[in-house]
A and B are shown apart, each in its own frame.
Chain A
Amino acid sequence: MSGDEATTPSATPKPSATAADSPLKLKTAVEALSSIVPTLSKLTPASLTTSPDLYPQISALLRQPNSGAGDNNLCRWLYDTFQSGVGDLQLLVLRFIPIIAGVYLSRVADRKPQAGFEAVLLAVYAHETTSRAGKPVSITIPDLTQPSVYHEGSVKTSGKGTGTPNSAATEPETAVVSPALEPHGTVRSTRRARIVGVALELFYAKIGQMPVSSKIDFCEFCKVWAGQDGEMYKEFEEGGEKTEEEEEEGKKEEEEEGSDVAVEKKVKVEGRVPLCWELLQPVMRILGHCLLGPNNNKEVELFEKANEACRSLFSRSMHDVNPKAILPMRSLMRLSKTVMPNNDNLDPTELPFSDVISL
Chain B
Amino acid sequence: MGSTEHGRVSVREFQANGSRMAASEVEAKLDQGNIQEAEDSLREGLSLNFEEARALLGKLEYQRGNVEGALRVFDGIDLQAAIQRLQSSFSEKPPGKKGHAHTESASGSQHAASLVLEAIYLKAKSLQKLGKFIEAANNCKRILDSVEKIFYQGIPNIQVDNKLQEIVSHAVELLPELWKQAGCYDEAISAYRRALLSQWNLDNDYCGRIQKSFVMFLLYSGVEASPPSLAVQIEGSYVPKNNLEEAILLLMVLLRKFSLGKMKWDPSVMEHLTFALSICSQTSTLAKQIEELMPGVYHRIDCWNSLAFCYSGAGQNDCALSLLRKSLHKHERPNDLTSLLLAARICSSDPHLAAEGVIYAQRAVNNARDQDEHLKGVALRMLGLCLGKQSKVASSDSERSRLHSKALESLVAAIKLEPNNSDLIFELAVHYAQHRNLSAALRSARNFFNQTGGSMLKSWRLLALILSAQQRFSEAEVVTDAALDQTARWEQGPLLRLKAKLKISQSRPMDAIETYRFLLALVQAQKKSFGSSQISSKVLDDKINEFDIWHGLANLYASLSRWKDAEICVLFEGRGENDEALLATINGILLEPNHVPCKILMGGMIQRLGPKFFCAARSALSDALRIEPTNRMAWHCLGLLNKQDGRISEAADCFQAAYMLEESDPIESFSSIL
User: A-side interface residues toward B, CB under 8 Å?
Assistant: 1-2, 108-109, 111, 134, 136, 139-144, 146-151, 153-154, 161-162, 172-173, 175-177, 179-180, 182, 184, 188-194, 204-208, 227, 229, 232, 238-240, 245-246, 249-250, 253, 265, 269, 272-274, 277-278, 281, 284-285, 288-289, 291-295, 315, 318-321, 323-324, 326-328, 330-332, 334-335, 338, 348-359
Contact = CB atoms under 8 A, between A and B. Distances in A.
B252 A142 contact: yes
A249 B371 contact: yes
B15 to A, nearest CB: 4
Contacts of A144: 252-253, 256
B125 A349 contact: yes
A134 B280 CA distance: 19
Contact of B222 (A289, A351, A352): A289
Contacts of B228: 149
B286 to A, nearest CB: 8
Nearest to A162: B236
B197 interface: yes
Interface string B190-227: 00000011000000000001010000110111111000
Given A193-B455, A359-B115, 17 more contacts: A111-B453, A146-B236, A149-B237, A172-B238, A173-B285, A182-B488, A249-B371, A253-B370, A285-B279, A327-B274, A327-B283, A349-B174, A351-B125, A351-B170, A354-B2, A355-B3, A357-B15
What 9 pairs across the A-B complex have the smallest Cβ distances?
A108-B453, A207-B222, A189-B454, A328-B278, A142-B249, A148-B238, A175-B280, A179-B536, A331-B271
A177 B280 contact: yes
B457 to A, nearest CB: 6
Contacts of B418: 319
Contacts of A175: 280-282, 285
A350 B320 CA distance: 45
Contacts of A176: 280-281, 533, 537
Contact of A149 (B233, B341, B486): B233
27 contacts: A108-B455, A139-B280, A141-B282, A147-B237, A148-B240, A148-B253, A149-B233, A149-B239, A188-B488, A190-B488, A238-B302, A239-B302, A240-B336, A249-B370, A265-B420, A278-B538, A284-B279, A288-B220, A319-B374, A319-B378, A319-B418, A324-B313, A335-B275, A349-B173, A351-B121, A356-B13, A359-B55
B265 to A, nearest CB: 14
Looking at A111, A146, A351, which has the most chain B CB atoms within 10 Å of its CB? A351
Interface in B298-327: 299, 301-302, 306, 308-310, 312-313, 320
Contacts of B482: 1-2
B220 A140 contact: no
B486 A293 contact: no
Nearest to B449: A1
Given A192-B455, A335-B271, A318 B338 contact: yes
B283 A357 contact: no
Contacts of B1: 352-353
Contacts of B111: 359
A321 B274 CA distance: 17
B274 A331 contact: yes
Contacts of B378: 318-319, 321
A83 to B, nearest CB: 24
Given A151-B253, A318-B378, A323 B60 contact: no
Contacts of A335: 268, 271-272, 275
A338 B285 CA distance: 25
Interface string B631-664: 0000000000000000000000000000000000
A294 B185 contact: yes
Contacts of A334: 267-268, 271
B342 interface: yes
Interface in B112-126: 115, 118, 121-122, 125
A299 to B, nearest CB: 12
Interface stretch (B153-161, B176-184, B571-579): B176-184
Interface extent on B, as a size class?
A: 35 or more
Given A109-B453, A141-B248, A142-B252, A294 B180 contact: yes
B52 A355 contact: no
A191 B423 CA distance: 18
A232 B371 contact: yes
B289 to A, nearest CB: 10
B547 interface: no
B450 to A, nearest CB: 6
A349 B55 CA distance: 19
A359 B219 contact: no
B474 interface: no
Contact of A328 (B12, B248, B279): B279
A173 B286 CA distance: 13
Q: Mostly helix, strand, loop or mixed at chain B's interface?
A: helix
Contacts of A232: 371-372, 374
Nearest to A140: B245
B427 interface: no
A278 B231 CA distance: 38
A189 B63 contact: no
Contact of A142 (B56, B248, B301, B313): B248
A122 to B, nearest CB: 14
Contacts of B13: 355-357
B328 interface: no
Contacts of A246: 370-371
Nearest to B337: A318
Interface string B356-398: 0000000000000011111101100010000000000000000
Given A147-B234, A149-B234, A323 B283 contact: yes
B174 A357 contact: no
Given A232-B371, A315-B374, A1 B220 contact: no
B461 to A, nearest CB: 11
A190 B487 contact: yes
Contact of A324 (B125, B248, B283, B538): B283
A355 B256 CA distance: 38
Contacts of A206: 222
B162 interface: no
Given A327-B313, A359-B115, A147 B220 contact: no
Interface string B41-79: 000000010001001100110010000000000000000
B532 to A, nearest CB: 9
Contacts of A205: 222, 224
B194 to A, nearest CB: 13
A292 B302 contact: no
B223 A208 contact: yes
B360 to A, nearest CB: 11
Contacts of A161: 236
B591 interface: no
A150 B491 CA distance: 44
A274 B23 CA distance: 67
Contacts of A250: 370
A321 B382 contact: yes
Interface in B416-438: 418-423
Contacts of B232: 149
A271 B286 CA distance: 33
B599 interface: no
B209 A288 contact: no
A173 to B, nearest CB: 7
Contacts of B101: none
Nearest to B228: A149
A357 B536 contact: no
Contacts of A150: 196-197, 211, 249-250, 253
Interface string B486-508: 11100100000000000000000
B543 interface: no
A115 B30 CA distance: 70
Given A2-B485, A188-B487, A274-B422, A295 B181 contact: yes
A125 to B, nearest CB: 13
B313 A323 contact: yes
Looking at B2, B23, B336, B452, which has the most chain A CB atoms within 10 Å of its CB? B452
